[in-house]
């Protein structure tokens, strides 16, 4: 087994294990009244579970850095791409956390937030969308050697991927399951490159929350959904060819646009295979909701 593959496995296991431990340890923190929300069936549980992902990634990356400084593992010559992925993780988690903490039920979707803005109200959703777009431009420009139009297209890909993560967060475990499925081709594309190694610790930490999300001990929230979508989108930008990025962008545009008219929950509920995958591991429940967020505002 190559050194790169060993590092990949250790980062995956490290992220997963750190997330499991931190989820249990942060139980009292997540029970703070400001983070309590009603989920899709009316149970009051903690939102912003994505904070655990951020903490787990910090722990893993700090350990990775310390070991490298002592001569164990890879050198830190890959710090630019690695830092780009980590910045995406923290920046998009912060934007999602603002929405989890301060968002309301009143304005939903692009149209709802734009209507509020037209009436002079700045919603947390607008802050998240605008902030995500700005951060995405900074991130996609970091590697350099990209034209203006391509830069905007790549930034849109990252921002729309983050928003799609939020749109999918309507039932326990859904965003994490979709994210893990989307990660499979990315893992093959990125391999043990700097981006691949930075990405795998985030994915491992996210996977560590799957059981807690499914069993309704917490909700991933916009904090986690925004983070996961953005990091996967950034990996597409950094590790795939221009035609692949264009194809992914088109799919993301179509899905985000469709969400304004179609309930993803309704589509999933009408499709037997999707319904089985979506409900796998979840607690028994009443019929699926046809819309709305399991964690409140979008």
* Residues 87, 135: Cα–Cα separation, whole Å: 9
**Over 80: is that where the pLDDT of 87 sits?**
yes
- Cα dihedral 202, 203, 206, 211 sign: negative
**Over 80: is that where the pLDDT of 78 sits?**
no
* Residues 130, 68: Cα–Cα separation, whole Å: 37
* Residues 179, 176: Cα–Cα separation, whole Å: 5
* Residues 242, 239: Cα–Cα separation, whole Å: 10
* Residues 296, 101: Cα–Cα separation, whole Å: 10
* Residues 220, 257: Cα–Cα separation, whole Å: 23
When pLDDT is cut at 50, 70 and 90, the band that residue 291 belongs to is very low
**Three-state secondary structure string covering 130-156:** HHHHHHHHHHHHCCCCCCHHHHHHHHH
**Over 90: is that where the pLDDT of 278 sits?**
yes
When pLDDT is cut at 50, 70 and 90, the band that residue 292 belongs to is very low
Q: Is 78 helix (H, G, I), strand (E, B) or coil?
A: helix
Nearest to 58 by CA among 84, 28, 24, 89: 89
Output the pLDDT for position 191: 92
8 Å CB contact between 218 and 23: yes
Output the pLDDT for position 111: 63
**Over 50: is that where the pLDDT of 45 sits?**
yes
Range in 63-77, 103-117, 127-141, 244-258 the model is least confident about:
103-117
Q: Is pLDDT larger for residue 113 or for residue 250?
A: 250
CB atoms within 10 A of CB 271: 12
* 192 token code pair: 């043990």
- Cα dihedral 242, 248, 253, 256 sign: negative
Mean pLDDT of 100-127: 69
* Residues 79, 155: Cα–Cα separation, whole Å: 21
Question: Exposure string (b/e) for 79-93, b if CB count within 10 Å is 16 or more?
Answer: eebbebbbebbebbb
Tell me the per-residue pLDDT of 153-175, one tens digit each, with 9 for 90 and over: 999 999 999 999 999 999 999 99
CA distances from 164 to 21, 86, 229, 233, 298 (A): 28, 20, 7, 10, 11
| Helix, strand, coil share (%) of the chain residues, nearest 5 | 70, 0, 25
**Over 80: is that where the pLDDT of 105 sits?**
no
Mean pLDDT of 106-126: 66
**Over 60: is that where the pLDDT of 295 sits?**
no
CB atoms within 10 A of CB 66: 11
Kind and range of the H or E element at 46? strand 44-46
């Amino acid at each position: 087994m190559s050194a790169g593959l060993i590092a990949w496995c250790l980062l995956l296991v490290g992220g997963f294990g750190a997330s499991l431990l931190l989820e249990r340890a942060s139980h009292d923190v997540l029970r703070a009244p400001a983070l309590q929300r009603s989920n899709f069936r009316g149970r009051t549980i903690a939102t912003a579970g994505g904070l655990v992902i951020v903490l787990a990634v910090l722990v893993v990356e700090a350990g990775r850095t310390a070991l490298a400084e002592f001569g164990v593992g890879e050198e830190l010559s890959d710090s630019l791409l690695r830092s780009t992925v980590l910045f995406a993780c923290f920046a998009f988690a912060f934007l999602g956390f603002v929405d989890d903490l301060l968002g309301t039920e009143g304005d939903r979707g692009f149209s709802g937030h734009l209507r509020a803005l037209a009436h002079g109200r700045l919603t947390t959703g607008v802050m998240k969308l605008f902030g995500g777009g700005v951060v995405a431009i900074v991130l996609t420009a970091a590697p350099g050697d990209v034209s203006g139009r391509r830069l905007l297209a790549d930034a849109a890909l990252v921002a729309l991927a983050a928003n799609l993560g939020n749109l999918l967060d309507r039932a326990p475990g859904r965003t994490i399951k979709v994210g893990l499925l989307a990660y499979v081709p990315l893992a093959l594309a990125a391999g043990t490159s700097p981006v691949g190694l930075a990405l795998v610790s985030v994915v491992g930490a996210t996977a560590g929350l799957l059981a807690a999300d499914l069993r309704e001990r917490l909700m991933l929230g916009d904090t986690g959904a925004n983070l996961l979508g953005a990091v996967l989108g950034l990996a597409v930008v950094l590790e795939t060819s221009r035609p692949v990025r264009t194809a992914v962008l088109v799919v993301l545009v179509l899905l985000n646009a469709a969400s304004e008219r179609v309930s993803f929950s309704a589509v999933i509920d009408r499709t037997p295979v999707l319904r089985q995958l979506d409900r796998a591991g979840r607690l028994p429940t009443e019929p699926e909701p046809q819309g709305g967020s399991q964690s409140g505002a979008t």
